[in-house]
Amino acid sequence: MIEFAQFGAGRIGQIHAGNLARNPGARLRYVVDVDPKAAERLAERYGAKATDRETAMRDPSVGAVVIASSTDTHADLAIAAANAGKAIFCEKPIDLSLARVDACLKAVQEAGVPMLVGFNRRFDPSFKSLHERLQAGEIGAVEQVIVTSRDPGLPPQEYLKVSGGQFRDMTIHDFDMARWLLGEEPVEVFATGSVLVDQRVEEVGDTDSVMVVMRTSGGRLAHINNSRRAVYGYDQRIEVLGSKGMLTAANRVPTTVERAGGDAVTRDKPLYFFLERYAEAYAAEMAHFIEAVNAGEKPSVGARDGRQALVLAEAAVKSMQTGAAVKLV
By CB under 8 A, the residues from 169 to 198 that bind a copy of itself are 188, 190, 192-197
115-117 β-sheet, strand order: 49-50, 26-32, 2-7, 62-67, 87-90, 115-117
Residues 228-267 that bind a copy of itself (CB under 8 A): 229-233, 235, 241, 243-252, 254-267
Q: Which residues are within 8 A (CB) of 41 and not within 5 positions of it... i.e. 6 or more apart?
A: 9
Residues 4-63 that bind a copy of itself (CB under 8 A): none
- Closest of 189, 209, 208 to residue 322, by C-alpha: 189
CB of 57 to a copy of itself, least distance (A): 31
What is the DSSP secondary structure assignment for residue 68, as one 8-state letter? -
Residues 107-126 that bind a copy of itself (CB under 8 A): 125-126
CB of 250 to a copy of itself, least distance (A): 4
Q: CA 124 to CA 303: how far, in whole Å?
A: 20
DSSP reduced 3-state for 168: helix
**275 touches a copy of itself by CB under 8 A:** no
Residue 241, φ and ψ in degrees, nearest 5: -95, 130
Whose Cβ is closer to a copy of itself: residue 197's or residue 292's? 197
**313 touches a copy of itself by CB under 8 A:** no
Longest dimension (CA), the chain: 67
CB of 241 to a copy of itself, least distance (A): 6
- Sequence length of the chain is 329
- 8 A C-beta contact, residue 97 and residue 309: no
Q: CA 267 to CA 259: how far, in whole Å?
A: 7
Site size for a copy of itself (CB under 8 A): 73
**277 touches a copy of itself by CB under 8 A:** no
CB of 169 to a copy of itself, least distance (A): 18
Cis peptide before 93 (omega within 30 of 0): yes
CB of 107 to a copy of itself, least distance (A): 37
Q: Which of 144, 294, 300, 308 binds a copy of itself (CB under 8 A)?
A: 144
Q: How far is CA 35 from the centre of its chain?
A: 24
Whose Cβ is closer to a copy of itself: residue 106's or residue 244's? 244
Q: Which stretch binds a copy of itself (CB under 8 A): 62-70, 136-144, 163-171, 302-310?
A: 136-144
**99 touches a copy of itself by CB under 8 A:** no
**223 touches a copy of itself by CB under 8 A:** yes
